[in-house]
Amino acid sequence: MPVWCPKCHAMLADGTAKCPRCGAKLPKAPSDPNAFTPQEFKAILLEAYKFALLPVA
Give the span between the Cα atoms of 28 and 15, in whole angstroms. Answer: 9
Class of domain 3-53: mainly beta
- Its pTM stands at 0.45
Give the tens place of pLDDT for each residue, 8-47: 999 998 888 899 999 999 887 656 677 778 899 999 999 9
DSSP string computed for 1-57: --EE-TTT--EE-TT--B-TTT-PBPPPPPSSTTSPPHHHHHHHHHHHHHHHHTTT-
